[in-house]
Amino acid sequence: MWTGGATVGRVLLRLLRAVLVVAAVVGLALLLVGGLVVVQGQRDDTRRADAIAGLYLASSPPAHLDQMIQLYRQGYAARLFLAGNNLDDAEALLVSRGLPAEVIFRPDEDSGGRFAAMQDIAALAAAEESRTILLVSPSDDLLLELKMSADTGLVAFGSPLPDTPLDLPDVLRSTLEYWRYVLVGW
C-alpha cells in the first residue's frame, strides 16, 4: 500500500509552519524597529556638542535649517556641519539669517544620498577634530541617521525637529529604510 499522500501532507504542513514562523519573525522585526522609530523620534537628546550637524536632502523641510540656527544661537555648538543636496542654497539661507559663514562647514560638492552625506559629516568632523555632534533630523529619520552616524564613527546626539508629527506612512517608510540599510547597506 502506498502512503505517499501522508508524507506529502506532512511536508506541506512543515513548510506552512516554516513560512508562518518566518512571517512572524519578519513582522516582529518590523514592529520592533517601527516602535524604535517612534520612541527615538520623540526623544530629544539635545546637549552641548562640538558641532551641530544636519543632512540637508531634497526632502528636508525648511524647519531643518531653522532648528540648526536656533541651536547655534542657544550655544549648543560653535560650528555647523552641513551635507546633502542643494548646499549652496542651504548655506546662503543660513548666512542670510545671520550665521557667520566661518562657522558653516560643508563638503565642496553635494552628497550623493543620505549615507554619503553622513560620510561627509564624518569627514568634516575628523578634519575639524570634532568628537561629538548634535544631529538635527526629522523625527521619523532620526533613528536611521543616528545609526549611520555611529557606523561612521561619530558620537551623535539626536535633536528631532519640533512639530514633526509621526504618522503611520512615515514610520513605515523609515522602518523599511532602516532595515534596508542594516541588511544591504546604502
User: Which CATH architecture does the domain made up of 41-184 adopt?
Assistant: 3-Layer(aba) Sandwich (3.40)
Q: Concatenate the DSSP letters of all residues of 83-121 into one string.
A: EES-HHHHHHHHHHTT--GGGEE--SS--SSHHHHHHHH
Question: Domains of the chain: which residue ranges?
Answer: 41-184
Lowest mean pLDDT among 7-11, 37-41, 101-105, 126-130: 7-11
For the residues 56-72, what does the mean pLDDT come to? Answer: 85
- Per-residue model confidence (pLDDT) at position 2: 54
Residue range 26-54, pLDDT digits in tens: 999 999 999 999 999 999 999 999 999 99
For the residues 58-66, what does the mean pLDDT come to? Answer: 80
Does pLDDT of 57 surpass 90? no
Does pLDDT of 178 surpass 60? yes
- Per-residue model confidence (pLDDT) at position 29: 93
- What CA–CA distance (Å, rounded) separates 40 from 24? 24
Q: What is the pTM of this model?
A: 0.87
Does pLDDT of 153 surpass 90? yes
For the residues 73-98, what does the mean pLDDT come to? Answer: 93
Does pLDDT of 186 surpass 80? no
- What CA–CA distance (Å, rounded) separates 146 from 118? 10
